Structure 1
Amino acid sequence: MSENTENGAAMRAVSQDVFGDPEVLKEVERPRPVPGMSEIVVRVHAAGVNPTDWKHRAGLPWMREPVPVLGWDVSGVVEEVSRGVTLFKPGDEVFGMLPYPHGAGAYAEYAKATARSFARKPSNIDHVQSAALPLAALTAYQALVDTADLRPGQRVLIHAAAGGVGHLAVQIAKARGAHVIGTASTGKHELLHELGADELIDYRTTDFTEAVGDVDVVLDSLAGDVRTRSLDVLRKGGTLVSILPRDSDADTKKAAERGVRLEGMLVEADHAGMRAIAELAQEGRLRAHIDATYPLAEAAKAHTHGETGHTTGKVVLVVR
């Protein structure tokens, strides 16, 4: 990272002094970032909002102080490049995920990160659409493709299929040629069928372990009892990828007894992954469903909306 953090110019950003409810988020004036070696500064047009944002805002167990500026999803225009950058020039439209978890800073007019955290924005979608993709789509891609090696004809079960990660995972799995099964409330089934889901289970009325079996891959974003019971629907040799922390060894033991893999993952900034996501979006095979947008100054309202747990797809902050 650069030792320089400002160039004398100011920008609008959303910050917080203490952990707490959404109301701790305030619009402030902060110094504009300056790119360090191999970094770029992006003029932010839109910033995606993810569950990890409000978890960091409220304070995670390992955090000693708040993140100065939240947010990891960025879509915008390259403002400045530093020495060593060959991928982009000022004026290029890009989107990407700031390195997670220590590279936050998307809730601002300008954000910086290593150039390879970004890819060129697909020309057929706007900045709101592209800002909704990076963290959630990378999570889904790294879980299904990099970790589980999902292949054509395999059966994949995606929990919370209408959520931010889930609805993108449905499309990525379909693009891989998989048979896609999802859990979601009935009211969200029509959208998920449009996105490519082959089978849908209403988790409120049906026990998924009784409705599905012989699954090759499970994508778990719920943890707890759902993750434990999901091991029962995997075929021998199958893989469960969880994007939430494991809090006990019981599931690991159960997975070993059943002859299946249990993997936990944390999303990483990934240029190759972003290019793959950009290609899918450019081809029309991946799109984010936008549940709501808010101006940057209303980040607190965006968090309140997201924390209801009833959103479909993504919430996005419009910066400019």
Structure 2
Amino acid sequence: MLGDPPFTLGWDVAGTVESTGPGVSTFVPGDEVLGLLAFPGPGNAYADYMIASHDEIVHRPAALSVPEAGGLPLAGLTAWQALAGIADVGDPGLTPERAAELGVRFAVVSVRPSAPDLSRLTALAEAGGLRVHVDQTLPLTDAAKAHELLSARRTTGKIVLIP
């Protein structure tokens, strides 16, 4: 997936647009955004600055803090694309009973960066229909500690790294 080390980990991002490339009109410097970068390739998100394609990011709604926005993309897109895209259940409020009726079962779900799908998720968050649970935030310099915490399997939400 990432090749031989060394490489930079990370795919989920949230932050501020510093500059844009030629022809980009959707975003301007100063815009607050979130996104999923280059998944499953090298997203290089464990960094202070990164390059994102305009179709991998969306505007961050005021309803999401920066840490919540940083914790949403990969987990949120995995759930959204599995339920709304692959299973075509339509309703993000799908209950386990309704899933069983529909025969919804997954062993593996492939996720792709998608600005339209992220926009649907951020609209749900803005309307109060989606909550991102951040277990804790850590400075980017403590990335190794974040991985240790994840390996212990005692977190109850996302661990978000902050540059």
2:117 partner letter: G
Match of residue 57 from structure 2: 118
Aligned-residue Cα RMSD (Å) equals 1.7
Which residue of 119, 128, 131 corresponds with 1:275? 119
Match of residue 68 from structure 1: 7
1:227-258 C-alpha deviation (Å, 9 max, x unpaired)? xxxxxxx45x6231233xxxxxxxxxxxxxxx
Which residue of 129, 146, 155 corresponds with 1:285? 129
2:33 partner letter: V
Matched, 1:308 2:152: yes
Matched, 1:299 2:143: yes
1:240 partner letter: R
Q: Which structure shows the higher strand fraction? A: 1
Aligned residues: 163
Aligned to 1:115, the other structure's residue is in SS state coil
From the superposition, tell whether residues 109 and 64 of structure 1 become closer, same or farther in structure 2 (CA, over 3 Å): closer
- After TM superposition, give the deviation of residue 297 of structure 1 in Å: 0.4
Q: Kindly report which structure 2 residues correspond to 1:74-223, keeping only aligned pairs within 5 A, or say none.
A: 74-151=13-90, 173-174=92-93, 178=94, 180-181=95-96, 215-217=97-99
2:103 partner letter: G
The separation in 1 between residues aligned to 2:149 and 2:130, in whole angstroms, is 24
Match of residue 106 from structure 2: 241
The separation in 1 between residues aligned to 2:2 and 2:19, in whole angstroms, is 31
Match of residue 5 from structure 1: none
Please list every run of at least 4 consecutive aligned residues from structure 1 whose deviation after the TM superposition is greater than 6 angstroms. Answer: none
From the superposition, tell whether residues 63 and 117 of structure 1 become closer, same or farther in structure 2 (CA, over 3 Å): closer
1:246-292 C-alpha deviation (Å, 9 max, x unpaired)? xxxxxxxxxxxxxxxxxxx2110001001001101111111111112
Aligned to 1:71, the other structure's residue is in SS state coil
Gaps of 5+ in 1: 1-61, 153-172, 182-214, 218-233, 244-264
The separation in 2 between residues aligned to 1:67 and 1:105, in whole angstroms, is 11
Aligned to 1:241, the other structure's residue is in SS state coil
1:126 partner letter: S
From the superposition, tell whether residues 301 and 283 of structure 1 become closer, same or farther in structure 2 (CA, over 3 Å): same
Aligned to 1:140, the other structure's residue is in SS state helix
Aligned to 2:51, the other structure's residue is in SS state strand
- After TM superposition, give the deviation of residue 101 of structure 1 in Å: 1.3
Aligned to 1:113, the other structure's residue is in SS state coil
Query: Percent identical across equivalent pairs?
Result: 37
Higher RCO (C-alpha 8 Å, min separation 6): 2
The separation in 2 between residues aligned to 1:82 and 1:310, in whole angstroms, is 41
Match of residue 157 from structure 1: none
Gaps of 5+ in 2: none
